[in-house]
A and B are shown apart, each in its own frame.
Chain A
Amino acid sequence: MNLKRQNLLLLFSGLVLVLVPLFTVKPEKEGDELFLGADDKAGGVIKELSPGYKPWFVPLWEPPSSEIQSLLFSLQAALGTGAVAYCLGYYRGKRRALHDDDPARY
């Protein structure tokens, strides 16, 4: 299998793994919220196991709304993608410059 096809297949399978639950999982009860964060669910389990537990420290700063939070999360993802893409682009260009006598390779 050539690399391009393998890569497409990898991305496609990843997408399927994510999309299938999005459409197949239904809430247990009508009106239950779906796809909450597992971290928050763990907080719920803690409350159930140890009802008296009070978090003894609060975040120094919290994003003022879920919009701001998703803004920051997308910023995080964008920064990361930037680093990966810069590296790949840099070396791809460099390799092309080294082998510019043979454009068929690209």
Chain B
Amino acid sequence: MHIMEGYLPIGHAVGWTLVSAPFLAWGIKSLTRQIREKPEARLVLGATGGFAFVLSALKLPSVTGSCSHPTGVGLGAVLFGPATMSVLGFVVLLFQALLLAHGGLTTLGANTFSMAIVGSFVAYGVFRCGSAVRLPFNLTVFFAAAIGDLATYVVTALQLALAFPDPVSGLNGSAMKFLGVFALTQIPLAMVEGLLTVFVMNLLRGHVGEQISRFVPVLNGTVR
């Protein structure tokens, strides 16, 4: 989902940065508040950031014959809320833009929007919906992570379609092309992300849960 450095026209680059900025400001506020109010949860917060680091570094082969990577933001979005997680996702993207030439500074706004913001908010929304209709907890976590991951790639495809409409078939035509590259590839990988998120959630609930579920209620299997 990384739009490469320089690959968004300048207007789009600035536009997506402006769209992402308020979410990040909100996220930083919520992150600092959480660290202040529940310092006991810092280690788990670090672990969810770590999870996003690992997953977004794993480029996995997919059925379309190309490689892509999960995002890892679903776990943190479910545990600490989407605003906080969007900051952690942004840190991952910044690291990759600066040190790996993966993504870029001019496309950081757009990539932050798709992965850190939409990914987190969709994952959180799915989690809340699943909990509201009383789906089993692990199934809800699976759907939250998988659908959040898929949403990220759909947004990336649409961002590119918006910047590069097909000269013949217009926006729809180019959207189909970019979705063909990103969304199809992502379907099995989104499932992998869902499975791994449930796995780590199980470990966290098993080993960490009872000790800090006061601060991170989801670890107790309950929703705020």
Interface positions of A (Cβ within 8 A of B): 3, 6-7, 10-11, 13-14, 17-18, 20-22, 24-25, 27-28, 34-43, 45-46, 49-50, 53, 55-63, 69, 72-74, 76-77, 79-84, 86-88, 90-92, 94-95
Contact = CB atoms under 8 A, between A and B. Distances in A.
A39 B178 CA distance: 10
Given A36-B67, A63-B100, A14 B196 contact: yes
B211 A95 contact: yes
Contacts of A61: 98-99, 101
A60 B105 CA distance: 9
Interface size class of chain B, counting residues whose CB lies under 8 Å from the partner chain: 35 or more
Contacts of B49: 80, 83
Contacts of A72: 99-100
A50 B164 contact: yes
Contacts of A21: 61-63, 65, 188
A63 B96 CA distance: 11
Interface of B: 1-7, 9-10, 43-44, 46-47, 49-68, 72, 95-102, 104-106, 138, 156, 160, 164-167, 174, 177-178, 181-182, 185-186, 188-189, 191-192, 195-196, 198-200, 202-204, 206-208, 210-212
B104 A25 contact: no
Nearest to A42: B181
